[in-house]
Structure 1
Amino acid sequence: MKAIATVSMYDMGAANRNALNHSLTLEQRKKIQEEAAEQRYVEFTDGETKYTSGTVHKLDENTDPIQREFYDFYRTPRGEYTPKGGSPELTTHPTLSSNVKFMNFYPFNDIETISPRPMLFITGDKAHSREFSEDAYKRAAEPKELYIVPKAGHVDLYDRVELIPFNKLTSFFTEHLK
Structure 2
Amino acid sequence: MARRNPERRAALLDAAIEVLAAEGARGLTFRAVDQRAAVPTGTASNYFAGREEILTGAGERVYERLVPDEATLAAPFDGPRDRARLVELMHELVERVAAFPTGFLALLELRLEAARRPELREVLTTRIRADLDFNVENHLKTGLPGDATTVKLLWLALNWLIIERLTLPGLLDPDESTDLVEALVERLTA
Same fold (TM over 0.5): no
TM-score by length of 1: 0.24
Larger helix percent: 2
TM-score by length of 2: 0.23
Q: Which has the higher contact order (CA 8 A, sep 6+)?
A: 1
